[in-house]
């Protein structure tokens, strides 16, 4: 099966299309080759053994094709997010209690605030976090991650949701959430999951992956009493628009620490009403490089989860699902352009441009990047709809061709 990446135009040969041709009471469905035969029973007549065998064979073929489509969709998701496959006997799945205790006793992160540089997440934990974040809609959700440390790597093996109250801008953990957290970790150890809590995750629906002032305070507290600890942020809304998981892993610096100037980070779109909160705290934490892995057992669990949701994913539209988000992005973009224009015209003339006004120029550059990102996402959504329309709704020119019975 060939996977077409959205944004690529190709011309298919005439034979590469779905066609239905009738020949008497025989109906042929073809998608390239081979041709699958279905025997249609006449009204009032029974099916013979040969016809029954053909029917069973065709049903098995349909089931196999659906399974193949599900596997291909899962494979595409893994490729987009760079999920690596490792052996089930790999060291990454072995929990060495003594090694972890030695690491906790040495506390190398106390000497180097930038000690942890990489975050490795199992594909199963990633999918569970994304599904949880998506289930919250426009409300923030929160959960806990289980894992371990290996040198400069923080490894997330599993994740679970917490029963917390969420709003559009924050999540509030109550006593019940802390009790649930302790009970879950104890129960996990009883079934052989010896990993400890390695961090927490929460969602930022529609406004990117970064730490707000409240998030920074929470992470500072966690790193003070529960080291080593990690913070992961997921944007489920942008995940749907981009088709790739929008995620970030972060750790905060100790109070009073002045980080080195490493230059600007990768640009991301921040809504105008969040820019101030983002700018005030952006130097109080740093991001870790993220990678993902899976084992043969994870593959089976992923397939089980994927088979439950891939049909609804195929039938959904990012343009309809994220209609409110796209509208909000357009409004936010217009406000940013208007703000930049106001700064550029303060000299008196609406057509005057001060080449030394680097701040205004920078705002225009960022607005241009935001506009480009929004346009690409909208075009990808439209192209996806067009492709699905041609695959499932458009009738082939050969569909109603009737051939004489042989």
Q: Do 96 and 53 share a domain, yes or no?
A: no
Global pTM exceeds 0.85: no
pLDDT, one tens digit per residue, over 86-135 is 655 467 778 888 888 888 888 888 888 889 999 999 888 898 898 898 88
- Name the β-bridge partners of 196: 147
Q: Do 305 and 374 share a domain, yes or no?
A: no
Angle (CA) 164-298-143 rounded to 5° is 10
**Is 404 within the bounds of a domain?**
no
Domain harbouring 199, CATH code: 3.40.140.10
Question: Per the structure block, which two tokens stand in for 254?
Answer: 């100790």
**Is 405 within the bounds of a domain?**
no
Give the residue ranges of the chain where pLDDT is below 70.
1-71, 73-74, 77, 80, 82, 84-90, 166-174, 241-243, 261-280, 305-314, 343-361, 395-406
In three-state secondary structure terms, 137 is coil
Percent of the chain with pLDDT over 90: 9
The candidate with the shortest Cα–Cα distance to 143, out of 124, 171, 169, 183, is: 171
**E strand or H helix at 257, and its extent?**
none
Q: Do 111 and 228 share a domain, yes or no?
A: yes
Q: Do 99 and 202 share a domain, yes or no?
A: yes
Predicted pLDDT of residue 12: 39
**E strand or H helix at 280, and its extent?**
helix 275-281
In three-state secondary structure terms, 294 is strand
Predicted pLDDT of residue 396: 57
> Could you list the residue range(s) of the whole structural domain that residue 177 is in?
83-315
Q: How far is CA 401 from the centre of its chain?
A: 44
Q: Do 112 and 25 share a domain, yes or no?
A: no
């Amino acid at each position: 099966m060939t996977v077409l990446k959205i944004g690529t135009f190709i011309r298919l040969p005439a034979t590469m299309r779905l066609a239905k041709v009738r020949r008497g009471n025989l109906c042929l469905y073809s998608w390239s080759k081979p041709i699958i035969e279905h025997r249609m029973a006449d009204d009032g007549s029974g099916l013979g053994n040969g016809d029954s065998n053909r029917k069973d064979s065709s049903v098995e073929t349909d089931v196999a094709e659906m399974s193949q489509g599900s596997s291909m969709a899962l494979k595409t998701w893994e490729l987009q997010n760079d999920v690596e496959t490792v052996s089930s006997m790999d060291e990454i799945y072995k929990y060495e209690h003594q090694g972890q205790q030695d690491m906790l006793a040495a506390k190398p992160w106390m000497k180097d605030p930038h000690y942890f540089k990489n975050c490795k997440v199992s594909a199963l934990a990633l999918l569970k976090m994304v599904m949880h974040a998506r289930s919250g809609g426009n409300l923030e959700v929160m959960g806990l991650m289980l894992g371990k440390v290996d040198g400069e790597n923080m490894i997330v093996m599993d994740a679970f949701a917490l029963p917390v109250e969420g709003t559009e801008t924050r999540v509030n953990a109550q006593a019940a959430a802390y009790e649930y957290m302790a009970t879950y970790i104890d129960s996990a150890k009883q079934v052989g999951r010896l990993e400890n809590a390695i961090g927490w995750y929460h969602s930022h629906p529609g406004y990117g992956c970064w730490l707000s002032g409240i998030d920074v305070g929470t992470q500072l507290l966690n790193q003070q009493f529960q080291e080593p600890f990690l913070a992961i942020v997921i944007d489920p809304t942008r995940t749907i628009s981009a088709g790739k998981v929008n995620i970030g892993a972060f750790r905060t610096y100790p109070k009073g620490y002045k980080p080195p100037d490493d230059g600007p980070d990768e640009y991301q779109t921040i809504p105008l009403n969040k820019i101030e909160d983002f700018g005030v705290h952006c130097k109080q934490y740093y991001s870790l490089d993220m990678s993902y892995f899976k084992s043969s057992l994870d593959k089976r669990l992923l397939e089980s989860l994927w088979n439950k949701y891939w049909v609804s994913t195929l039938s959904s539209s990012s343009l309809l699902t994220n209609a409110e988000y796209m509208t909000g992005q357009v409004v936010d973009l217009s406000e940013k352009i208007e703000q930049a224009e106001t700064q550029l015209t303060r000299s008196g003339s609406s057509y005057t441009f001060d080449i030394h006004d680097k701040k205004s120029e920078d705002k225009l550059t960022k607005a241009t990047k935001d506009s480009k990102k929004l346009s690409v996402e909208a075009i990808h959504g439209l192209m996806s709809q067009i492709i699905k329309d041609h695959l499932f709704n458009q009738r082939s020119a050969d569909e109603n061709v009737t051939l004489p019975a042989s």
